[in-house]
Amino acid sequence: MDEEVLAAFAEKGLLLSKEVAHWRAPTPGEVVLHPRADEVISFLAFHERGLAYPTHWFLRRLLNEWGLEL
């Protein structure tokens, strides 16, 4: 996994742009992932299948109140 693969996923629309989501690839040789305090580990296979990061609770409640779905 490297930045080029993640950039390709962003170009396909499977990830938000790096400027928005601030994603990063693991450093070379990083076998065990050590996320920083403000990071979440995600798997590309999830994004390929349409799964993504959970939305904010406010948006979920607002959509529920209005009977809408994303």
pLDDT above 80 for 52 = no
- Nearest CA among 33, 3, 48 for reference residue 21: 3
Q: The pTM is what?
A: 0.65
pLDDT-derived band at 11 (thresholds 50, 70, 90) equals very high
pLDDT-based confidence at residue 4 (cuts at 50, 70, 90)? very high
φ/ψ bin of 62: left (φ > 0), alpha (ψ from -120 to 50), beta (otherwise):
alpha
Query: Which tokens is 22 given?
Result: 């601030």
What are 56's two structure tokens? 């904010």
